[in-house]
Amino acid sequence: MAMIGVVGAGVMGVGVAQNLAQGGHEVVLVDRDEAVLAEARTAIARNSRMSRLMGGPALDADTILAAISTAVGVSSLAKADIVIENVTENWDVKRAVHAELDEACSPDTVLVANTSAIPITRIASVGAHPERVVGVHFMNPVPAKPVVELIPGVHTSEQTLERTRELLRSMGKRWVDVKDASGFVSNRVLMLTVNEAAFLVHEGVATAEAVDEVFRGCFGHPMGPLETADLIGVDTILYSVEVLYEAYADSKYRPCPLLKQMTDAGLHGRKTGRGFYTYES
């Protein structure tokens, strides 16, 4: 049984930790705040109990939680076999966390960057062992999504890739091999769609409900782009679009001003109770 570190106890980190526990791993969930970690355990218990109702396997919440310990700071990950980093899509934050991980973890520890847009080679450049850094783009909600993007950086070793593939198999995941380019496949397309959908609302062309109904009703999508934005996090959408805009210097990635305003206002979607839609607590 491998010891797996999970850094970041937000929506993605919670999902990754639960999925790992379901796969039989010993998990250490790390964040900078005890209150955030306490909320994460509550969320994992709730999600485990709801798993069957959401079309997943029947899970025992106590068994899942027993496999997950929590800690403040990355020093507790010195003996981790693999660490999965899930912090926000902000380069300054990612860089700082990976610098800490490079110092705290054994050189044999595989560092997995769960990122939706930031190039893996850039992340790997932070540390002294770029060969042990690899990208895995998990989709939300993590336990329910069977496919991920697997992205090696320029220096990622074959051993790192094979250990990551083995971990993904244990989590019940299939992977799509993708070369290291900002946004990869999924978000290079999805973020353009969400950003343009936000522009439609910003310009008064249609309401959020109308935009999403076109995608559900006309194209058969289970969720519209703005419902998806609320699920992912409006702030995360903005950060991802900004990364694409910086990476490609192409005006088609210009962030919609409405995304910036909503992020500043704390209207981040489901995780804050209000985004393009309002949610019950």
Which residues carry a binding-site annotation for NAD(+)? 8-13, 31, 89, 94, 116, 140, 271
Asked whether the predicted pLDDT for residue 38 surpasses 80, the reply is: yes
* Catalytic hit among 137, 155, 202, 268: 137
What pLDDT is stored for residue 21 in this prediction? Answer: 97
What pLDDT is stored for residue 177 in this prediction? Answer: 98
H or E stretch at 117 = none
Annotated active-site residue 137? The verdict is: yes
H or E stretch at 58 = none
Contact 16/144 with Cβ under 8 angstroms? no
What pLDDT is stored for residue 36 in this prediction? Answer: 97
Cβ atoms within 10 Å of 126's Cβ, excluding its own: 18
Q: Is 113 left (phi over 0), alpha (psi -120 to 50) or beta?
A: beta
Question: For 102-124, how does the pLDDT look when each residue is reduced to its tens digit (9 = 90+)?
Answer: 999 999 999 999 999 999 999 99
Contact 137/110 with Cβ under 8 angstroms? no
pLDDT band at 2 (very low <50, low <70, confident <90, very high): confident
User: What structural domains and CATH numbers belong to the chain?
Assistant: 3-177 (3.40.50.720), 187-272 (1.10.1040.10)
Which residues carry a binding-site annotation? 8-13, 31, 89, 94, 116, 140, 271
What pLDDT is stored for residue 205 in this prediction? Answer: 98
Asked whether the predicted pLDDT for residue 1 surpasses 70, the reply is: no
Asked whether the predicted pLDDT for residue 54 surpasses 80, the reply is: no
Q: Mean pLDDT, the chain, as a whole number?
A: 96
pLDDT band at 281 (very low <50, low <70, confident <90, very high): low
What pLDDT is stored for residue 107 in this prediction? Answer: 95
Asked whether the predicted pLDDT for residue 199 surpasses 70, the reply is: yes
Question: For 19-31, how does the pLDDT look when each residue is reduced to its tens digit (9 = 90+)?
Answer: 999 999 999 999 9
Whole-angstrom distance, CA of residue 177 vs CA of residue 150 = 5
In DSSP terms, 143 is beta-bridged to none
